[in-house]
Amino acid sequence: MSAPPPHRHIRRARETLGEAETVVVLTGAGVSADSGVPTFRGQGGLWREHRPEDLATPAAFARDPRLVWEWYGWRRELVSACAPNAAHLALARWQEGPRPIHIVTQNVDGLHRLARDRIRDGAGGSTTGEILELHGSLFRTRCTCCAAVENSRAPIDATSEASLPHCGACGALLRPDVVWFGEPLDAHVLDRAFRLAARAEVCLVVGTSAIVQPAAAVATEAARAGAALVEVNPEVTPLSRVARLSLRGRAAEIVPLLV
């Protein structure tokens, strides 16, 4: 376990974030690790015995939709039992504040939205901050034929292809409404993310290995446009050397100290 970041780094990060008019936050699986959601690549990061790159692909779904749905059904069940952690909640509270704080997440677990709902506790929100889900959501399905999209938290019966979820409108097989490897991201969402990054004075990067593209480019584009990068991650990543501050530690411990 790495030593916690020195107080002066935390103080400097708080000052950097406190002075910024506009902030974009890029999060990855590490922000949900403290909620019990396994990461993709860190220790214990394997999703059961499957590698994301093998199953989160159109080819895997075409080859064996039952196996892919079994994997997503398992992840849906696991994530449904996870609650937003102190990092999600601190970011949600920060978004309700006076400044535009935007969250761009690679995660499909919906925990940033859940945190916002918790903070608002049913009351309407006042934030101008956005939550952009670059890679879709575990809790949405899309029809493989008519492209109908539905919110869905139902358990998946993957015992046979016939028992997999099918479209109420056209009867075709449904798929998880997530972006698989080799698939393009939603152009509007990605364009919006890059626009926010280009305007940000600070980009806070929490819990990503910065390997997956084009998501990781949101941080590098922000830096290229002049933003200061502040990173929170127990491990070194390709962004660490370009970050103004790279805080070694867990999101649930550090993020609440920063915002």
Residues that bind Zn ion (CB under 5 A): 143, 145-146, 148, 167, 169-170, 172
Between 145 and 185, CB nearer to Zn ion: 145
104 binding partner (options ligand BV8, Zn ion, none; Cβ < 5 to 8 Å by kind): none
- 2 makes contact with ligand BV8 (CB under 6 A): no
**Residue of minimal CB distance from ligand BV8?**
30
CB-count exposure of residue 84 (10 Å: 0-12, 13-18, 19+): buried
- 20 makes contact with ligand BV8 (CB under 6 A): no
Active site residue 88: no
Residue 137 is encoded by which pair of tokens? 């959501």
The site map against ligand BV8 for 207-246 (x = CB under 6 A) is: xxx-xxxx-----------------xxxx-x---------
Between 30 and 110, CB nearer to ligand BV8: 30
170 binding partner (options Zn ion, ligand BV8, none; Cβ < 5 to 8 Å by kind): Zn ion
The site map against ligand BV8 for 150-189 (x = CB under 6 A) is: ----------------------------xxxxxxx-----
CA–CA separation, 98 vs 85, rounded Å?
23
| Binding segment toward ligand BV8, per CB under 6 A, in 58-66, 102-110, 139-147, 165-173 | 102-110
167 binding partner (options Zn ion, ligand BV8, none; Cβ < 5 to 8 Å by kind): Zn ion
- State the catalytic residue, choosing from 102, 135, 166, 188: 135
Residues assigned a catalytic role: 135
Give contact residues for ligand BV8 (rule: CB under 6 A). 28-30, 33-34, 39-42, 45, 52-53, 56, 106-108, 135, 178-184, 207-209, 211-214, 232-235, 237, 250-251
